[in-house]
């Protein structure tokens, strides 16, 4: 049985497919004067009909809007749709992916708690959990979670959070969500939280595999057009209530603007067809790179050479559109490759219509020291490619001439 967000059955049911839900779930034009697209509610606060209603809203006895840092109708629609697509009970939207992650850790962690994270994390997440949390008395264990057995030594009653990305940014390591969740739940009550930004719910739904919460940078594929900074967390009603009332309202204030929520809602409508195109092109590009004489290594879950290829087939609908590779000749050749690109844009971020190339060691993962990058399996010459929506033959020609 598919777990669905609470909703009006006349608007969305579990009989609908993913694409239909991406367009219609939780919204109906009859609610807004027949408007096909939801309105953008630009208001900071809301009026009440009586003092009694004020008290009921603030106590939580009556649902409704209070203040747009906490709830907003446009943002609320986005949250409902995300929860629906992830098969979660509820969601909270944030002003960025890091807003979601920082709200997560400050809501649920306290001094003397312990956290387990995977060895490879996005640069800012790495800085937060490995550099900042220990300053607040929180013990962090970075482990290689591609082998869930590594967890057993460190899981104990103080473990409150197990956090990882799959696929991991930037080296494309895959982690078995179901096995990690099973191992954690057999040993302690820690939350298992998965950053599934690379996949979106179209390719991978961690809650269905046993995770307790999913984190997304909505900036990436879910928005898909490179014009928004946003994030989200999806999980149980209880966890999301805490994230909203503690993490978002009182600790970080990382609220999402209604305009940005509207843009993400617009992007989600085309998510399935975009992901199909992204992944089809990435599959061709990865195969091209693997056969290229100037490519030293290529990491892409759709290649049989990827060590977790079978896991990708089992855990993901499609292998995604992110590729990590190294050119022969090391860092210098990699730098020359980056400078020769003409169609691919040298830029951070991912999931846009435009194809992007970046050098993690000097860009997104520069917050790691050289020693940390080595320990966390991020090589100095690694190049990360985000495959866009251009004609794939044009993208391949540009890669070919840049590899030279």
Residues classed as catalytic: 69, 122, 195, 220
**Burial environment of residue 59 by CB neighbours within 10 A (0 to 12, 13 to 18, 19 or more):** exposed
CA dist 81 and 264 (Å) reads: 11
Edge-first strand listing for the sheet containing 383-386:
295-299, 322-327, 383-386, 356-358, 345-346
3-state secondary structure labels for all residues of 27-70: CCHHHHCCCCCCCCCCCCECCCCCHHHHHHHHHCCCCCCCECCC
Kindly state the helix (H) or strand (E) to which residue 386 belongs, with its residue range: strand 383-386
> In sequence order, which residues have a C-beta less than 8 Å from that of residue 87 and are 6 or more positions away?
2, 3, 4, 201, 205, 207, 208
> In sequence order, which residues have a C-beta less than 8 Å from that of residue 263 and are 6 or more positions away?
223, 225, 227, 228
CA dist 246 and 54 (Å) reads: 20
**Burial environment of residue 7 by CB neighbours within 10 A (0 to 12, 13 to 18, 19 or more):** middle
Helix, strand, coil percentages for the chain (3-state, nearest 5): 40, 15, 45
**Which residue from 236, 196, 225 is spatially nearest to 91, judged by alpha carbons?**
236
CA dist 40 and 43 (Å) reads: 9
């Amino acid at each position: 049985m598919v777990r669905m967000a609470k909703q009006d059955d006349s608007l969305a049911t579990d009989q609908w497919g993913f694409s239909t839900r991406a367009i219609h779930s939780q919204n109906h034009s009859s609610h807004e004067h027949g408007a096909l697209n939801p309105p953008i509610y630009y208001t900071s606060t809301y009026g009440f009909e009586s003092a009694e209603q004020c008290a009921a809203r603030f106590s939580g006895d009556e649902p409704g809007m209070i203040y747009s840092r906490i709830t907003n109708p446009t943002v609320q629609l986005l949250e409902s749709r995300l929860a629906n697509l992830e098969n979660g009970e509820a969601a909270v939207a944030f002003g960025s992916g890091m807003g979601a992650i920082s709200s997560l850790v400050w809501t649920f962690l306290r001094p003397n708690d312990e956290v387990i994270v995977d060895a490879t994390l996005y640069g800012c997440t790495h800085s937060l959990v490995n550099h900042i949390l220990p300053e607040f008395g929180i013990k962090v264990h970075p482990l290689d979670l591609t082998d869930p057995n590594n967890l057993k030594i460190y899981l104990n009653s103080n473990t409150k959070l197990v956090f990882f990305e799959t696929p991991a940014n930037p080296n494309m390591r895959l982690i078995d969500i179901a096995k990690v969740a099973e191992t954690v739940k057999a040993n302690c009550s820690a939350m298992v939280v998965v950053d599934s930004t690379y996949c979106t719910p179209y390719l991978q739904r961690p809650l269905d595999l046993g995770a307790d919460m999913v984190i997304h940078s909505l900036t990436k594929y879910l928005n898909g057009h490179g014009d928004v900074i946003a994030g989200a967390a999806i999980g149980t009603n209880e966890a999301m209530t805490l994230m909203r009332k503690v993490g978002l309202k009182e600790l970080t204030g990382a609220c999402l603007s209604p305009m940005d929520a509207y843009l993400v809602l617009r992007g989600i409508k085309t998510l399935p067809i975009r992901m199909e195109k992204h992944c089809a092109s990435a599959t061709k590009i990865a195969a091209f790179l693997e056969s290229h004489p100037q490519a030293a290594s290529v990491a892409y879950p759709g290649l049989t050479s990827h060590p977790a290829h079978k896991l990708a087939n089992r855990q993901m609908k499609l292998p995604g559109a992110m590729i990590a590779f190294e050119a022969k000749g090391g860092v210098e050749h990699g730098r020359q490759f980056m400078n020769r690109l003409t169609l691919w844009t040298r830029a951070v971020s991912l999931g846009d219509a435009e194809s992007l190339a970046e050098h993690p060691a000097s860009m997104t993962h520069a917050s790691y020291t050289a020693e940390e990058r080595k320990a966390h399996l991020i090589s100095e010459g690694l190049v990360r490619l985000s495959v866009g929506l251009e004609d794939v033959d044009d993208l391949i020609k540009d890669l070919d001439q840049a590899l030279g």
